[in-house]
Structure 1
Amino acid sequence: MQAIPLVATTRGYPDSGNVIENVHAGSVAVVDTQGRLLWSAGDPNYPTFTRSALKPFQALPFILADGPARFGLTRDEVALLCASHSGEDIHLQGVSSILNKIGLDPAHLECGCAVPLHYEFVGQPAPQDRAWTPMHHNCSGKHSGFLAWCRLHGKPTGGYVERGHPLQQAIRATLADTVGLPAESMPTGIDGCSAPNYAMPLQKLAHLYARLAQGAADPQLGAAMGILEEAMTARPDMVSGENRTDLHWMTAGGGDWVAKIGADAVQAIGVRSAGIGIAIKIADGNSRALHPAVYAVLDQLGLLDDARRAQLERYRQPSIKNARGTVAGDIRTMFTLNRAA
């Protein structure tokens, strides 16, 4: 199977109608808590680098070792371990608190420096007179958790992002066991924050989120999944930030949905009450196509009532505006989910 057209962008005038200008292909997989395919579009086994959608599962070795309790991490700080945060004050304070509790400082973070995502998502220019540090990188929460695992196990903090480091070996082994794949079958790549990232069939990513949404009821990981799910759904603002999609999806879900985006147009969502996991990948990595696709999947699965539609309307069929603010077209979906045989 192959990716199929999921989303189109259009251009035109109100009095003459819009014409399709670009088409973005992709794939969708919807599975139950046993990993059985329920619905799909395109290729449900599309090989997908998980990117930041992997973050809760990169935190698993630390959670399974009772790391949060050993260092006194709060629920909000656990949420940061799973975050692609916006570098807002609450995020920076949380990362600083984690580092203080493990006896390290920002110089130990190996994620690199980056302009906080906050400015992009609130539509403000980033200050030109600021020196950004690794704390501002959207992955600094995850990396503080990496360092915490090293401190917990007495392993070197230098080079913790290298594939051969004991931390990364533990993550790879735990992930392979959790997802039910041989470790050697998961292709490895370097993520934007320099840590190893893994590719897997889209259906497998959906299964991870179906299980994450069940929290402590997961038969394999129980309490550890519960800690991660509770933190993410209780503090979606720590997982993402102002005007961010994961904040909006999880807020609309009212604690029932756990969501995590990944770079290059990956989205995973688990829905506890429905017992399902959803994974979506836009093949060309264009995130503007991703969000209407997510809305369409949620709608086609019957998960959007009137209140949720109103909350998420911005993603249904977003307008495309030019530099003057004139509406020049829109972004619209063009697929229907297929029920698995």
Structure 2
Amino acid sequence: MYSSALSEAPLVREPRHAPVAHVVRGGIVEGVHHGSVVVLAADGSPAFQLGDIEAAFYPRSAVKPVQAVAMVRAGLPLEGELLSLAAASHSGEERHLAGARRILELAGLTEDDLRNTPDLPFDPVVRDAWVREGRMPSRLAQNCSGKHAAMLYTCRLNGWSLDDYLDPAHPLQQAVAEIVEDLTGQRIARTSVDGCGAPLFAISLHGLARAAARITTAAPGTPEARVADAMREHAELASGSGRDVAALMRAVPGLLAKDGFEGVQVAALPDGRAIAVKIADGANRARIPVAAAALARAGVDPARLTEFAGEVLLGGGEPVGQVRPVRALAPQPLPAARA
């Protein structure tokens, strides 16, 4: 299906995004969200593309399943809920914090060993409760704490240093970079720093979709399959209660999905069909309806995607419009892979 040879790094350029969603109010296009979309067929070939799928971009947290695969390949023994949490952008609910603490306990470590940026919980309801209770930002509450706890556990198991585990030259981050290149099939274009402090690797949108497809089509028991199974079976550990990405995985059997800041979404089916979306202005309201339209174009039954059709716009408290994918994304379903 895929070549084992790495292609050159994607070009660093201003992305040639295209309109992907319209903000329609009273039958008039009030606003336009630009972005890029790729849909991969089951054989790995691009079956549909819109915008610029080859320019270098930062996948943000949408790359966390790949980071989790790298840690499992390096010996991380987590399964189920805790492995899902290792790939999470969690909401900061108590079960998320308890899971991150458990990973640290398994490593013989505490919250003080984390090096991610302290923050309040991501979920607005949970965050508001923290503020009312006078609780301060913490490393454990920050949405990437599960990943960071798993990184520390991986380091402890391999005898790697802990204080500098976020350094791009650290053995852990070198191992992650190697797996990013392996699964995307391309060399990394540039390395920066994500919001949580971890190294962030620039790849292409096409490469991100290819990585997700490789994870979902991996043989049972492999690190890739372990990560995919954990995230699908424990979707709310990888996100949170009420989060659209968890609802998407529940709605589409076998789907692996992960979101990322700045309007990034990736999803893949067990037969290798995959989609990846980047919203140019980072607008969250365009991310999920565009992703749902891309999934319909990949062959997912549109009836399973109706709740992700797009945010309803209100006027005087009444519905007067909606955020809608552009017509170019209208479903033209792809066939599933042959048995």
**TM class, shorter-chain normalised?**
0.7 to 0.9
Partner of 2:184: 179
Cα displacement (A) at 1:75 = 1.4
| Residue pairs, 1:47-196, within 5 angstroms | 47-68=56-77, 73-119=78-124, 126-128=130-132, 129-182=134-187, 185-196=188-199
When residues 292 and 266 of structure 1 are mapped into structure 2, their CA distance, relative to the original with a 3 A threshold, is: same
Which residue among 22, 42, 45 is the counterpart of 1:8?
A: 22
Which residue among 289, 293, 298 is the counterpart of 2:290?
A: 293
Contact 1:266 1:290 in 2 (8 A): yes
Equivalent pairs counted in the alignment come to 317
Counterparts of 1:87 and 1:335, CA distance in 2: 37
Which structure is higher in helix share?
1
Percentage identity across paired residues of the two chains: 34
Contact 2:85 2:238 in 1 (8 A): yes
Cα displacement (A) at 1:125 = 6.2
With 202-211 and 32-41 compared, the bigger mean Cα shift is at: 32-41
- Structure 2 gaps of 5+ residues are 1-14, 335-339
Partner of 1:331: 323
Contact 2:75 2:157 in 1 (8 A): no
When residues 298 and 34 of structure 1 are mapped into structure 2, their CA distance, relative to the original with a 3 A threshold, is: closer
When residues 34 and 198 of structure 1 are mapped into structure 2, their CA distance, relative to the original with a 3 A threshold, is: farther
Cα displacement (A) at 1:124 = 5.7
Counterparts of 1:325 and 1:137, CA distance in 2: 34
Contact 1:215 1:227 in 2 (8 A): no
| CA offsets 1:31-73 (integer angstroms, 9 cap, x no match) | 24553211112222242211101111112232113321xxxx3
SS at match of 1:198: strand
Cα displacement (A) at 1:180 = 2.2
Partner of 2:46: 37
Counterparts of 1:162 and 1:66, CA distance in 2: 20
Partner of 1:208: 211
Is 1:266 the equivalent of 2:257?
Answer: no
Superposed CA RMSD in Å reads: 2.3
Q: TM-score, normalised by structure 1?
A: 0.86
Counterparts of 2:191 and 2:74, CA distance in 1: 24
Partner of 2:281: 284
